Chain A
Amino acid sequence: MADKLLEVRNLKIEATAYPPGEKPRDITIVDDVSFQLEKGKVLGLIGESGAGKSTIGLSAMCYGRGGVRITGGEIVLNGRDIRQLKPGALRRVRGGEVTYVAQSAAAAFNPAKKLMDQVIETTLQRGEMSKSEAEQRAVMLFGKLGLPNPETFGRRFPHQVSGGQLQRAMTAMALCPKPDLVIFDEPTTALDVTTQIDVLAAIKEAIADTGVAALYITHDLAVVAQVSDDIMVLRGGKTVEYGDVRQIIEAPREEYTRALVSVREIEHEEKKPAAEPVLRVDNVTARYRGTNFDVLKNISVDLSPGQTLAVVGESGSGKSTLARVITGLLPPKEGTITFAGRELSPDMASRKRDDLRELQMIYQMADVAMNPRHTVGTIIGRPLEFYFGLKGEAKRKRIQELLDEIEMGQGFIDRYPAELSGGQKQRVCIARALAAKPKMIICDEVTSALDPLVADGILKLLLNLQKIEHVAYLFITHDLATVRAIADSIAVMYQGKVVRYGSKSEVLSPPFDDYTDLLLSSVPEMKLGWLEEVIEHRRMESAGN
């Protein structure tokens, strides 16, 4: 029996909600959660937004964020309940026995101080090492985490290094005082997928080398499967399932866990390209006003009617700019856009109303894509009135038909967006686009802001609607799993260029170009040992060269 480090029993966490115009009331965020962690082991906490996973993670430091209170249960760390500790003793636990790595290291570092001073701050505070010893340890950790020039890295200020590097620096900061337990709170979520894999590998190696235990919090089951020994699945502040990683991934017991494991496994048969495309982007080059840098360079892609072209790339690849050029929000410097057989005017303002109607758009953040002062009825009804002159009862009937089509049914027509869930909001945006009877819809990261299961529902709806309405999608995303699920053809973008383009089967089969290979191999897969395989594979390849 290994040494027990942390045991949490019957944890209950509450907060006070302040609903407008009503009396404040207490709400339970975490209810009756228990788990334990042995020395040197990693426990993954997984769940969707609002599952209480960060709150539980921070409870291991007996810390409540923003008025959150731990109201029940025991948190036994190294043999004593830290809830009973006095403030001074608790401060020695924080930053000493237990340390924390935040999701956004960019915000978590003090902008006015050098990285080294921040990394060794707690170590010096505790008086266990001299300044030079602490700095040596920090440099050693920088090196272990794969940071460039570990000797001089610490002399920089936070804004002088990249996001991926900051995330590693924060890991070094957490490991520096030799803690027993590190809490990783979504440490790779804000990173691009090709950066994520490196940081993930670095974290995993650092955990193994230092023998520290960890709580690893994330919403991505494929990620947590790579680093954890045990996994706890949470939903609405309650435990759904708790077991070792193999059991959870390979033989989940609960329905909800099964859904999480099988997420993004949508079957979609690839369609053959048609003779006449609905959209042809021909040799488009574009730049933003006042800059002297082309964000898009000689882009040419086609989209067949009733099919889906997925445009894949990481942040800064120019994929969203392509959408702006097609919609006419950003007139291109060179090149033409042909839509439904006619060449579109480069500037939106001089396009014909039918061109505007047949080319619709759905946004990433449904929250800000709908006017919060309009009802669902007004939002969906406006295109009906604007393009088809529908009024009164006829309009209301059509709105209801559209609501049925997006599987929302009765009772939503007079509600405001603020009263809908995230998935429902995105569905209303889809209905608004459909109301215009478009030939094509541009979907800009429409599932990125949603929890995996909700995103799955939206993708299935979109595929279904494509069959019924025969509408084409230009689907912009950074997520390759989404691409696999819905694309007929794929364009991979990198630094403003299309580096690979063709049917889905062509693009996703070897031989690959370097970037596509990197991109494809970086997407976490829902299987144990995937991370090691990729790292090993890359090591062999670079040795081979």
Chain B
Amino acid sequence: MNTLLKLVVQRVALGILLLFAASILIFVGTNILPGDVAQAVLGQSATPQALANLRAELGLDQPAYIRYFEWLAGVLHGDLGKSLTNGQDIAAAIGQRLSNTLFLAAVSAIIAVPLAITLGLIAVRYRDRWPDKVISAVTLASVSVPEFLLGYILMYFLAVQFHIAPSVSTIYPGMSFWAKLHAITLPVIVLVLVVQGQMMRMTRAAVLNLMQSAYIETAELKGLRPFLIIARHAFPNAISPVINVVMINLAYLVVGIVVTEVVFVYPGMGQYLVDHVSKRDVPVVQACGLIFAAVYIGLNMLADVISILANPRLRHPK
């Protein structure tokens, strides 16, 4: 039990370390590169005095490492700073948007995960026959089109031509749950399609790899029914690789969501981030970047922890 706990603690510690390193990277990325925030905000025609004033206001006259620690201390206390463009408190502005984004992500994941695993298993069951081939062809097609284009294709056909779903996903507090669901039909379909390909292909590979192991042959030679072979011998060993696949792809969903929100004008984190990148609103970009990175790092960490926990060699040491 001890080694197991040690490994998990190590992995979690590594995750936290990575998160800190990522925060440094984000900070460095926005500060040390040749661009100047004040210049960027005020434009080329700004007077030197105005630039100096803004720099002082932003604390840009202080050394970078001091600004980093001040920023980090703020973040740890839940203070993400103020937006440059409208002076709003960023944490307050993010709150509602974050829950909108998580709602969209959750609905997509609830549909995508079981679907991908089922299709992956079908591909294994009919390996190298037509269902498998159709599934790989669809996979190839879906990874070949960027999310935003997939969004517009669906919008063009489902919303504009056939009026099945709304083309813009407006949601606001106080909307009923079903109304919200209806509003996000298209972005959910896009996200499901986007993560589907990879998740299916990886599930297929993981399960195929498992079905070719010698202990599955042993089970066959024991004369067990196919159902028992899968339930007793394949399933317990499949949990870990499949959960790993799921986690990695949910992390991938984080990226897809940014673009999808912009396409469907969905009031979430992604749209907020992109808006403020074009406005060169650095504090907002830093805060959003950090939150996205944290989710991504967290999911990857979770995947690793689960595979540590599911490994019988580690669970029952010699």
Contacts and interface: CB of A to CB of B under 8 A. Distances in A.
Do chains A and B make direct contact within the complex (CB under 8 angstroms)?
A: yes
Contacts of B312: 111-112, 157, 159
A109 interface: yes
B61 interface: no
Given A110-B233, A112-B237, A160-B316, A91 B225 contact: yes
Contacts of B228: 125
A65 B220 CA distance: 11
Interface string A205-216: 000000000000
A91 B313 contact: no
B223 interface: yes
Contacts of B316: 157, 159-160
A181 to B, nearest CB: 12
A110 B222 contact: no
The B contact surface, by secondary structure, is helix
Given A157-B316, A159-B312, A159-B313, A109 B215 contact: yes
B221 interface: yes
Contact of B236 (A93, A107, A113): A113
Contacts of B175: none
Contacts of A494: none
A122 interface: yes
A521 interface: no
Interface in B200-248: 213-215, 217-225, 228, 232-233, 236-237
A236 to B, nearest CB: 25
Contacts, number: 73
A501 interface: no
A108 B214 CA distance: 5
Interface residues of A, number: 28
A107 B213 CA distance: 7
A96 B316 CA distance: 31
B318 interface: yes
Nearest to A114: B316
A95 B215 contact: no
Nearest to B212: A66
Contacts of B318: 159-160
Contact of B218 (A92, A100, A112, A159): A100
B313 A61 contact: no
Contact of B215 (A58, A90, A108, A159): A108
B222 A122 contact: yes
A530 interface: no
Contact of B214 (A99, A102, A112): A102
Given A111-B313, A112-B312, A159-B312, A94 B220 contact: yes
B215 A107 contact: yes
B221 A61 contact: yes
Contacts of B217: 65, 102, 108
Nearest to B316: A157
Given A63-B221, A91-B224, A122-B223, A112 B213 contact: no
Interface in B263-318: 312-313, 316, 318
A260 B126 CA distance: 45
A322 B237 CA distance: 39
Given A112-B236, A157-B312, A94 B215 contact: no
Contacts of B222: 94-95, 99, 121-122, 125
Interface string A76-114: 000000000000001111111001101010011111110
A108 B216 CA distance: 8
Contacts of B215: 107-111
A159 B312 CA distance: 9
A125 B213 CA distance: 22
A68 to B, nearest CB: 12
Nearest to A92: B223
A100 B220 CA distance: 11
Contacts of A99: 221-222
A200 B12 CA distance: 48
Interface in A377-393: none
Interface in A488-507: none
Contacts of A102: 214, 217-218
A93 B223 contact: yes
Interface in A118-173: 121-122, 125, 157, 159-160
B260 to A, nearest CB: 38
A425 B232 CA distance: 44
A152 to B, nearest CB: 14
B237 A100 contact: no
A63 B219 CA distance: 12
A96 B224 CA distance: 10
B221 to A, nearest CB: 5
Contacts of B213: 107
A95 B224 contact: yes
A95 B221 CA distance: 6
B224 to A, nearest CB: 7
A102 B213 CA distance: 13
A96 B221 CA distance: 10
Contacts of A110: 215, 218-219, 232-233, 236-237
Contacts of A90: 223
Contacts of B214: 102, 104, 107-108
A125 B224 contact: yes
A65 B218 CA distance: 11
A108 B215 CA distance: 4
Contacts of B313: 111, 157, 159
Find the residue from B225, B232, B236, B312 having the highest chain A CB count within 10 A.
B312
Interface string A48-81: 0000000000100101010000000000000000
Nearest to B228: A125
Given A157-B312, A159-B313, A160-B318, A108 B225 contact: no
Find the residue from B215, B220, B318 having the highest chain A CB count within 10 A.
B215
Nearest to A88: B225
10 contacts: A94-B223, A95-B223, A102-B217, A102-B218, A108-B218, A111-B237, A113-B236, A121-B232, A125-B228, A159-B313
5 closest Cβ contacts across the A-B interface?
A94-B223, A95-B223, A95-B222, A107-B214, A91-B223
Given A110-B215, A160-B316, 11 more contacts: A93-B223, A94-B222, A94-B223, A100-B218, A107-B214, A110-B237, A112-B237, A121-B224, A122-B224, A159-B312, A159-B313
Interface of A: 58, 61, 63, 65, 90-96, 99-100, 102, 104, 107-113, 121-122, 125, 157, 159-160
Interface of B: 213-215, 217-225, 228, 232-233, 236-237, 312-313, 316, 318
